[in-house]
Amino acid sequence: MTFREASAINGSPGTWTAEVREGWDIFGVSNGGYLMAIATRAMEVESGGRLLVSTTGHYLNPTSAGPVSIDVATLKEGRTLSTLRAKLSRGDRQLLTVTAVLVDPGRESFEGDLIIGEPPQLPPPEECLLAEPAESAPLPPPFTGKVEIRVHPDDARALYGEKSGNPLMRGWFRLRDGEALDPHAVVLATDAFPPAIFNSNLPVGWTPTINLAVQVRNPAPQGWLACRFSTRFVTGGMLEEDGELWDEDGRPVALSRQLALVPR
């Protein structure tokens, strides 16, 4: 099953439905980026086909495979931008709330770019470690079998219970079987890698997400995405993880920031 099929929606304006699929999970709990991608796909259709440029999700309750409903409301519809809100639920249990800004694909854009920064320095994908679901170890989780993630050799030891001591996670991402990327797959990619904090020397076992914010700068990148995720602050029982996604031409695809709990 392709990512587009796994995140497909049905229904009509205002109220949509979807099926959260088996395997898109972290040991039984559905991946947060995957759930947000389902919601943003409903918002895209609701907006009449405008393109996702910014989204923020707040995670209220964990969920697993099964049917969900997505209630979508348009907060503002302008000449070139629309702002929408979506609530993803199962029965009376609300799982996720998402706000998003979408843009008219035909709008005129600013001429000229300023890029202060550069992609992560990565070995070629074939020289990085392919993350595949573990049969008995805690990592990698089942979700990694649905996408293709290749982790920088220096960061990959976290997948096997070792730590580099640097809360950093770098690598390549793409969908399997040559499936093309879209804005929702870009959202998925921002939550696809193991948490960077797993490479620190802190006794961290899991990091449930509180919220995830994503800016999409290129809604349809080609080929591999070069990804870098890092954590700088672990305070008050919470951490942040900042993400950068770049295309193969060295241009930014997306920026993300995630806030997560650090349980005892």
What are the residues facing 130 on neighbouring strands? Answer: 150
Query: Distance (Å, rounded) from C-alpha 200 to C-alpha 196?
Result: 8
> Beta-strand (E) ranges in 91-189?
93-103, 129-130, 147-151, 168-175
pLDDT means per 10 residues, the chain with 264 residues, are 96 95 92 98 97 98 97 96 98 98 84 88 96 71 91 89 90 96 98 94 87 96 97 95 97 97 84
Residues 6+ apart with CB under 8 A from 260: 195, 207, 208, 209, 210, 238, 239, 240, 241
Q: Which CATH superfamily is domain 3-105+122-261 in?
A: Acyl-CoA thioesterase, double hotdog domain (2.40.160.210)
Q: Structure pTM? A: 0.94
Question: Which of 189, 262, 216 lies closest to 56 in space, CA to CA?
Answer: 216
pLDDT given at position 163: 86
The residue extents of the domains of the chain are: 3-105+122-261
